[in-house]
Structure 1
Amino acid sequence: MPGTASSTPRKLSTEAKNTLWNHGIYQFGNALAGVFISLYLWKLTNDLWINGAFQLIMLLSAPIATVYIGRIAKIKDRLYAYRAGIYLTALFYVLILIVQERMVDYYVWFACLKGVSTAFYWLGNFTMISDVTDNENRHKYLGWNAMVTHVANLSGPALAGLMIASFSEMKGYILVFGFSSLMFVLASVLSLHIKKKPTHHTAYYLKYTRLILKKRPDFTRSLVGWFIIGLPQGIMMYVPAILLFQVLPQESWVGYLNAFFLSLSIISSYILSVKGNEASTNAYLSLAAWGFVGSALVLLWDISLWTVIVFMCVSSLFKPLQANTYTAHYYQLIGDMPLKENFRIESIVIRESVINCGRAAGVLLFMLTAGQIDHVWLPWILVLIMFMQVFIRPLIHKTI
């Protein structure tokens, strides 16, 4: 039967499984400490602007780093970017262990290092996704990738919350950052088992981006979509954790609740890994967008514990649906480009740069309008940014 092959996704290769395993370890290390970086800065300064500035500097440094490491990845191998990202992330947490509460004095440099390390890792990781999957099994891989990510993100904050609750003052935070560093060391070692992919095309085509954007309006529209997707992500990196911290008795509960929210994302990711298919791209994007809008509308009623929990629950359910669907669409679009896989690294560089600009724009918009946790404009800004997700579906010009 002609439709049989396409209806059953092909099995993942050993290389794909190894990549998933190492990504899980990296994400677990990030999840252990990532949520609590914002709370650590908040406890040291009690200033949301410092948190916002940290996120903004991190996000603006990432595109610059992405362009640089993209050239190295193209000339040599994407593993250079991948491993450098893991090494620099480990360095980030080791330096926090060294300076501890003096991190506030150097938060600009820490933000730059976090942005560079994140950019390096994700460029390598997204490029390898293209290498180890194809159109037939990419939804399957991305579904499992999301589940691995969410399991790591679920267990990490829960364990970190337990550590912080078990020790007085800042000792729990230091223990969390130390354990995270060990996870990145382990990921560094295991990354040595991932094989390089030889290539005969080492020319870096990023300089032709403007020409490609003119010739391929569908590619241009896809980048607009990435910018829109990035808008709420920048705010969601730090504001929800601080919102929860304000209404909960202990910061350890922030970790426990994050674990619960991520369990919802795991369920959503699993369903997508089993049922997801390319033909339903439009339906998935519409459903996710209106789900985001509904989650934000609850905050107009009140900023309280129950409304924040409802907001996070609903958005956690729809986040994997949007992210995985649009990522799969983008990879398919890359495959249809004139240069095909020879433009793969450049397309990831462009994608990462655009989405980080979107995240930075979201943070900047929040800082200039709401600025503080108790500001009256906070829920309205979130509703506006979530409503903008509705415009992503028309950008891909597909029919259901």
Structure 2
Amino acid sequence: MKNKYYLQRFILTIILFTFGMVLSGAFVNIYIWKLKSNFSLIVQYLISTYATVPFIFYICGYIGMRIDRISIYKIGIIFHALFYLFVLLLRENITDNLIITGILYGIAMGFYWFGYHILTIDYTEIGKREKFYATTSIIGAVSSMLGPLISGFIIHILPDLKGYYVIFAISSFLMLVSVGIVSPLKSTPIKKPYKIEDLIFTKNKKWFKTMIGYFFLSGKDAVSGFLISILVVKTTGSEFTFGKLAFLISFISVLTSYLLGKFSKLEMRSNYVLTGVIIYFLSVFILVYKINFHTLIIYSILASIAEILIRIPFSAYAMDLISLDANINERKMEYIVARDVPIAIGRITALIIFIIFLKYFNINAIKMILVLISTFPFAIYWAMYRFGKDVR
């Protein structure tokens, strides 16, 4: 009963936090692009962010043995609020302070996502996590329907860059409100020696393949996460148009998440992933043919369907795999820290490859990197093949 109350409170916090994030998240990258029109600056900011996250995860794992894990989650939300306030303070000077800005965002991400994943293990049950992930995907998709549309409209009607400052301020406010909602939740510190080496250099084949899957999934996300939004704004010249496109693809995501959450079966996990992998791979070739607003729409719709089919089953599978450890209550934080190592390496590696492609292949670089990352999700199917039906 207590877990149900905690889960409901947790989901309510996710709703507020997610809406605050989607109001401003993609627009930070677009804002940097609008100031300098330079992909290298965005990559500099993102690498600073992603290089910081694993260190924060490691620190979180250590202090999580000694303090309430809810405190870690709250610290992450507070740092997100501080990040947007920092961007507000810097304004146009952000391009001169991208490394410190990226580090601050990395601290926020590290604390928040460590807390999020630990609470997910605490408040959800093995074999039933598709429903939770489907719920959070719907929350994210609905927020993404409304958030970018509202943000794009605000940016569109306000002169110069004032619209950006308004949405950054609103995001900070929503983050602080969500801290109040999660505050009543409690957890018990785990007091034991802190060890992650055996989970990083694991002999468990299932866990090893899962970490390889996370390496490639995070590499895809790192590039596609910012590149597509900038291509839309660059092609159309309008943040409001990006908001309208985000509304459309988020509606598709809501529908896909709902159907997957309602009809998904454990024995079909790897089949859902394979379907998503093939859809994503084929969708990229639409952009290889031509990059314009119409092809970006078609790609975005197909990619949003593929994303749900890949991410929800894989996330549920990975969390179930962690939960099967006989010492899960004592080692869950160490698993989350170990899991973030391939995620961080995957993100940074993909961004470095992106910059190398831009430098040496010029006009064809974007299409080439899109084709390359379209192959990454096949590693996720490989990770789940044979094991995806049953993690036991």
Q: Tell me the TM-score normalised to structure 1 length.
A: 0.92
Residue 191 of structure 1: aligned partner: 182
CA distance in 1, matches of 2:375, 2:200: 29
**Cross-structure match for 2:198:** 208
**1:378-397: CA deviations, max 9, x gaps?**
22221222123123222234
* In structure 1, distance between residues paired with 2:357 and 2:308: 28
User: Within 5 Å, which residues of 2 pair with 1:224-263?
Assistant: 224-263=212-251
Q: Aligned Cα RMSD in Å?
A: 1.9
Of 260, 265, 268, 1:277 maps to: 265
Answer yes or no: is the 8 Å Cα contact 2:256–2:308 preserved in 1.
yes
Divergent runs of 4+, >4 A: 371-374
Query: Is contact 2:66-2:190 (8 Å) kept?
Result: no
User: Are residue 350 (structure 1) and residue 350 (structure 2) matched?
Assistant: no
The answer to whether the 8 Å contact 2:80/2:108 transfers is yes
Cα drift, residue 234 of structure 1: 0.3
Report the equivalent of 1:305. 293
Are 2:338 and 1:367 aligned? no
CA contact (8 A) 2:57 2:114 kept: yes
Q: Contact conserved, 2:12 with 2:181, CA < 8 A, in 1?
A: no
1:22-41 superposed matches below 5 A: 22-41=13-32
- 2:99 pairs with 1:108: yes
Superposition deviation, residue 140 in structure 1: 0.9
Q: Unpaired runs of 5+ in structure 1?
A: 1-9
Q: What is the CA–CA distance in structure 1 between the aligned matches of 2:321 and 2:128, rounded to whole Å? A: 15
Counting aligned pairs with the same residue, the percent is: 22
Once the two structures are superposed, residues 209-249 of structure 1 have per-residue CA deviations (whole angstroms, 9 ceiling, x without a partner) of 356x02x1211111001001111100122111110111114
Q: How far 1:196 moved relative to its partner?
A: 1.6
Aligned to 1:5: none
Deviation sequence 1:172-200 (CA, Å, 0-9, x none): 1111111111111111111212x222255
Cα–Cα, structure 1 residues 18 and 25, in superposed 2: closer, same or farther, change >3 Å?
same
Q: Deviations over 1:22-58 (max 9, x none)?
A: 0111111111011110111111111111011111111
Please show how residues 1-400 of structure 1 align to structure 2 within 5 Å.
13-193=4-184, 195-210=185-200, 213-214=202-203, 216-370=204-358, 375-398=363-386
Contact 2:65–2:190 (8 Å) recurs in 1: no
1:164–1:171 CA contact under 8 A, matched in 2: yes
One-letter amino acid of the counterpart of residue 232, structure 2: L
In the alignment, residue 247 of structure 1 is paired with which amino acid?
T
Structure 1 pair 373–319 and aligned structure 2 pair: CA distance change class (3 A):
farther
Measured after TM superposition, the shift of residue 312 of structure 1 is 1.2
Deviation at 1:362, TM superposition (A): 1.4
Moved more, 247-256 or 175-184: 247-256
CA distance in 2 between partners of 1:283 and 1:323 (Å): 13
CA contact (8 A) 2:216 2:377 kept: yes
Letter in 2 for 1:209: L
2:200–2:338 contact (8 Å) kept in structure 1: no
Q: Distance in 2 between matches of 1:342 and 1:291?
A: 39
- Specify whether residues 36 and 255 from structure 1 end up closer, same or farther in structure 2 by C-alpha distance, changes over 3 A only: same
Secondary structure at the residue paired with 1:135? coil
Q: Name the CA shift for 1:210/1:42 in 2 (closer, same or farther; >3 Å).
A: closer
**1:341 Cα deviation from its structure 2 partner:** 2.6
CA drift of 1:327 comes to 0.9
Provide the rounded CA distance (Å) in 1 between the counterparts of 2:19 and 2:329: 30
- Once the two structures are TM-superposed, the CA of residue 322 in structure 1 deviates from its matched residue by 1.1
Q: State the TM-score, normalized to the length of structure 2.
A: 0.94
The answer to whether the 8 A contact 1:261-1:312 is kept is: yes
Residue identity in the other structure for 1:197: S
Query: Would the aligned equivalents of 2:149 and 2:244 in 1 still touch at CA under 8 Å?
Result: yes
Give 3-state SS (helix, strand or coil) of 2:364's partner: coil
How far 1:375 moved relative to its partner?
A: 2.2
Shift in CA distance, 95/156, structure 1 to aligned 2, threshold 3 Å: same
Cα distance in structure 2, aligned partners of 1:200 and 1:206 = 15
Count of residues in Structure 1 that have an aligned counterpart in Structure 2: 387
Residue 364 of structure 1 deviates from its aligned partner by 1.4
Question: Does the Cα contact within 8 Å between 1:231 and 1:360 map onto a contact in 2?
Answer: yes
Structure 1 367/315 Cα, relative in aligned 2: closer, same or farther at 3 Å? same
Hey, what's the Cα distance between the residues in 1 that align with 2:98 and 2:251? 32
Amino acid at match of 2:195: Y
